[in-house]
Amino acid sequence: MGLLLGIDIGTSATKTLLCTPEGKVLATAGVEYPVYAPKPGWSEQEPDDWWKATVAGIAAVCRKAKRRPGDITGIGLSGQMHGSVFVDKAGRALRRALLWNDQRTARECEQIETLAGGRKKLIGMVSNVALTGFTAPKILWVRKNDPRVYAQTYKVLLPKDYIRLKLTGEYASEVSDAAGTLLLDVKKRDWHGGLLSRLSIDADLLPPVYESTVVSGKVSALAAKSTGLAVGTPVVGGAGDQPAGAVGNGIVRAGIVSATMGTSGVVFAHSDKPVPNDAGNLQSFCHAVPGKWCVFGCMLSAGGSLQWLRNTLWADEVEAAYRRKGDPGALYPKMIDEAAKVSPGAEGLVFLPYLTGERCPYPDPEARGAWVGLTVRHRRAHLVRSVLEGITFGMRDQVELMRKAGVKITEVRASGGGATSELWRQMQADMYHANVVTINTREGGALGVALLAAVGTGEYSSVPEACNAVIRISTRLKPTKKNSAVYDSLYPTFRSLYADLREDCHALGLVKGA
């Protein structure tokens, strides 16, 4: 029986996963590498660090599973979206890649809107607005500020597609990741020639795009020598990290969405048609399911808000954990136990979770966090409860935007830190007015692309069939009417506070040292 390999090129580490076609995970490995910030707001990485991590990860999972790399019969690739790798004709990276969280391209975003004929026309072309994280403004920035590199550039690749090049020698991408460049016609699932022309970007700089399950290359003799993989092993298109994670969570049919709470918080929905968003606070991309689409939003400080509270109010315990090389994450269950002692609504205390600005529902880097409604009755337990509720209200904002856009939501699959606590899952069910479930795996993107490889190599006939064979519901919580009523009464206040405080937050951002 052949094995499947999933490779996920993350921002902090590359995760490698080895599994059977039935989805049984045999081994995982993570290899970290640095992020460089040569100037404030800049974020870069060395593409060859990803390749070294990939080689090391393949060796590690095979060693752990006591299997040979040659036993692998299909490979799927995932990775951080929007990054830009500039390579020459020999396939060598010419400079560090600009990452998804790089903020240097605000002027280029304005330029793109102008050249497209305005925001409305840009959305009509590529279904999204220009954001600094996307790839297109990075290309314009390098063209203007690093013309020597631009003149030598043969192709501009996304992070996972650079690894594809190293594995197969092929220049290729796929539609789910390519949608995040701002250069793909999301409706037609191909590069938008008209926009490329308006931006004076040569279409030959971009690789061909495929559906996510299509075999886009095979392991080369050179890569086989480095990795031990068999020459000719198929490599499928794969997916960007968010669509890949959605496949790993079984978000492959209408009505089911995922709510993933890590440092940030992402609500992701499958759609049978494109869902353009004029405000730019939701992203409308091609899904990794062939012929389907997706819509998702991202709040910047979901679990990050709870981490800040832990590091602030439990600073001594966190420091002690680091000193003894323990896990400060062990404090989270204790914090949630405290929150459980407080009734829903935290006795009128509301927390705004905009500690690092916000992206959805407010694309506003100057947004600030706040507690509103503090009284002498409130204690530490109230603060924790209000933070949990503020984060979940922020996730509800995304859910409501999707419902307004016509996305049907009957079930929410919780993952990340927000899925580990029954109290927090119940809070989500009560706020979303939907059943909240967990599934039998937490492997996310690496498993998702391994399943795409299973489809591409003929183990399954479709992505939904693969997900149905592998993914099972573990727990299910239904909304509680009483709690939902409390949260529904608080939600309008939560929603109004951003607008009420926006000008003050922007003024505070101008204060020296803020």
**Residues constituting the chain:** 514
Quick one: which of 165, 168, 148 has its CA closest to 156? 165
Please check whether residue 12 lies inside any domain of the structure.
Answer: yes
Say if residue 228 is in the same domain as residue 319: no
In eight-state DSSP terms, residue 440 is S
Say if residue 96 is in the same domain as residue 235: yes
Asked if pLDDT for residue 514 goes beyond 60, the answer is no
Please check whether residue 402 lies inside any domain of the structure.
Answer: yes
Choose the final residue of a domain: 240, 268, 290.
240
Kindly tell me the burial class for residue 514, based on how many C-beta atoms sit within 10 Å of its own C-beta (0-12, 13-18, 19 or more). exposed
Please check whether residue 108 lies inside any domain of the structure.
Answer: yes
Say if residue 233 is in the same domain as residue 353: no
Choose the final residue of a domain: 186, 220, 240.
240
Say if residue 203 is in the same domain as residue 59: yes
Q: Are 58 and 31 in contact (CB under 8 A)?
A: no
Say if residue 86 is in the same domain as residue 159: yes
φ/ψ of residue 82, rounded to 5: 80, -15
Would you state the pLDDT for residue 513? 53
Give dist(CA 279, CA 366) in Å, integer. 17
pLDDT digits (tens, 9 = 90+) for 244-254: 999 999 999 98
Quick one: which of 471, 315, 377, 205 has its CA closest to 463? 471
Structural domain of 381: 303-439+480-509
Please check whether residue 341 lies inside any domain of the structure.
Answer: yes
Say if residue 307 is in the same domain as residue 221: no
Say if residue 197 is in the same domain as residue 311: no
Q: How confident is the model at residue 88 (pLDDT cuts 50, 70, 90)?
A: very high
Asked if pLDDT for residue 438 goes beyond 70, the answer is yes
Q: How confident is the model at residue 1 (pLDDT cuts 50, 70, 90)?
A: low
Please check whether residue 252 lies inside any domain of the structure.
Answer: no
Please check whether residue 290 lies inside any domain of the structure.
Answer: no
Say if residue 112 is in the same domain as residue 28: yes
Instruction: Write out the two tokens for 156.
Output: 């501009």
How many CB atoms within 10 Å of residue 290?
A: 19
Give dist(CA 376, CA 174) in Å, integer. 56
Choose the final residue of a domain: 221, 240, 259.
240
Provide mean pLDDT across the span 99-113: 92
pLDDT digits (tens, 9 = 90+) for 477-501: 999 999 999 999 999 999 999 999 9
What integer best gives the mean pLDDT of the chain? 94
Say if residue 310 is in the same domain as residue 226: no
Question: Structural domain tally of the chain?
Answer: 2
Minimum mean pLDDT range among 37-41, 131-135, 192-196: 37-41
pLDDT digits (tens, 9 = 90+) for 195-242: 999 999 999 999 999 999 999 999 999 999 999 999 999 999 999 999
Please check whether residue 177 lies inside any domain of the structure.
Answer: yes
Q: Which CATH number belongs to the domain containing residue 156 in this structure?
A: 3.30.420.40
Would you state the pLDDT for residue 281? 84
Q: Which residue has the tokens 């603060």?
A: 383
Asked if pLDDT for residue 511 goes beyond 80, the answer is no
Would you state the pLDDT for residue 276? 78
DSSP string computed for 195-250: HHHHTT--GGGS--EE-TTSEEEE--HHHHHHH-PPTT-EEE--EEHHHHHHHHTT
Please check whether residue 404 lies inside any domain of the structure.
Answer: yes
SS3 452: helix
Would you state the pLDDT for residue 102? 87
Active-site residues, by number, are: 241
